Structure 1
Amino acid sequence: MRRIRTATVLLGLPLFVLLGATPASAASTTDVTSATLVARGVAVDVTVSVTCPAGMSGSFELNVRQRSGNRIAYGSGWAPLSCTGQPQAVPVRVLAQHDGAIFRTGEALFTGGTELCNEDTCEYGQIDDTARVTR
């Protein structure tokens, strides 16, 4: 019985490795390049530099969290993507939650994800960045 389990694990390991991250997901990069307050902190206009394989398209969602006094300001936004294979600046407006704090100048955490597809495959990426929110 022990030999059967060992053989099953050893045979399944190569399959697990093959089903890991695809090479396409390593080709996409997403970085926050600027974040500017809008309407006295009700929103933040964020510019994201995106490089992804030409021919893929989809969207990304961006969440912003920032300490605002003794509270946390939080908001989210999204933008469509059409990949060119070259770096491109993509603007997205992130609105503060209506029941939360407003955004301020200073350091913020930017998280989210991308979903990009072509005719054959889709890839999913994560955004995890910090940047300074300015006026």
Structure 2
Amino acid sequence: MRRIMTTIALLGLSLFVLLAPTPASAANTVDVTSATLVARGVAVDVTVTVVCPASTSGSIELSLRQRSGSGLAYGSGWAPVHCTGEPQEVTARVTAQESGEIFRNGETLVTGGLEVCGEDSCEYPPFTDTIRVTH
């Protein structure tokens, strides 16, 4: 009987540890708030509002894709994130690829990920959004 109770207790403890949220997963959110043309469309400054736990840090990685004339403008960029537990604005510069077109005013697809690392683990919650690029 003692062995059965010990086994049940260990199983319960194992489930608790597996299901408990890690500091990195405790409320990571990303909201794309603006996109502004830079250097006549060679780049776009993308501003996002990020919330992540104060005991974590990481980075935001972004990719943009936009129809531009008869071609496609695309590029990627990143910015470091110093988590505070409160909403904060982070701006990442996305540079157009040389083999593509330049970015223009208009709708753009934004995809990316927020890498958030705590003491023991990292998480990479992805996001996808559309935003209007402006001057």
TM-score of the aligned structures, taking structure 1 as reference length: 0.80
Q: Which residue of 2 aligns with 1:111?
A: 111
Q: 1:118 to 1:26 in 2, by over 3 A?
A: closer
Q: Which residue of 2 aligns with 1:133?
A: 133
Tell me the percent identity.
69
Q: Which residue of 1 aligns with 2:31?
A: 31
Q: 1:130 to 1:26 in 2, by over 3 A?
A: farther
Which whole-Å CA distance do the structure 1 matches of 2:26 and 2:67 have between them? 32
Which whole-Å CA distance do the structure 2 matches of 1:84 and 1:108 have between them? 29
Q: Give the gaps of 5 or more residues in structure 2.
A: 1-14
The structure with the larger Rg is 2
Q: 1:26 to 1:106 in 2, by over 3 A?
A: farther
Superposition deviation, residue 25 in structure 1: 3.4
Which whole-Å CA distance do the structure 2 matches of 1:26 and 1:33 have between them? 22
Q: Which residue of 2 aligns with 1:68?
A: 68
Q: Which residue of 1 aligns with 2:48?
A: 48
Contact 2:23/2:53 (<8 A) preserved: no
CA RMSD of aligned residues (A): 1.9
Q: Which residue of 1 aligns with 2:122?
A: 122
Q: 1:58 to 1:129 in 2, by over 3 A?
A: same
Q: Which residue of 1 aligns with 2:11?
A: none
Contact 1:55/1:82 (<8 A) preserved: no
Aligned partner of residue 27 in structure 1, secondary structure = coil
| One-letter amino acid of the structure 2 residue matched with residue 46 of structure 1 | V
Give 1:7-18 correspondences, 5 Å limit.
Answer: none
Which structure 1 residue ranges, 4+ long, deviate > 6 Å from structure 2? none
Q: 1:23 to 1:58 in 2, by over 3 A?
A: closer
Contact 1:25/1:124 (<8 A) preserved: no
Aligned partner of residue 103 in structure 2, secondary structure = coil
Which whole-Å CA distance do the structure 2 matches of 1:76 and 1:29 have between them? 20
- Size of the aligned set, in residue pairs, is 118
| One-letter amino acid of the structure 2 residue matched with residue 132 of structure 1 | R
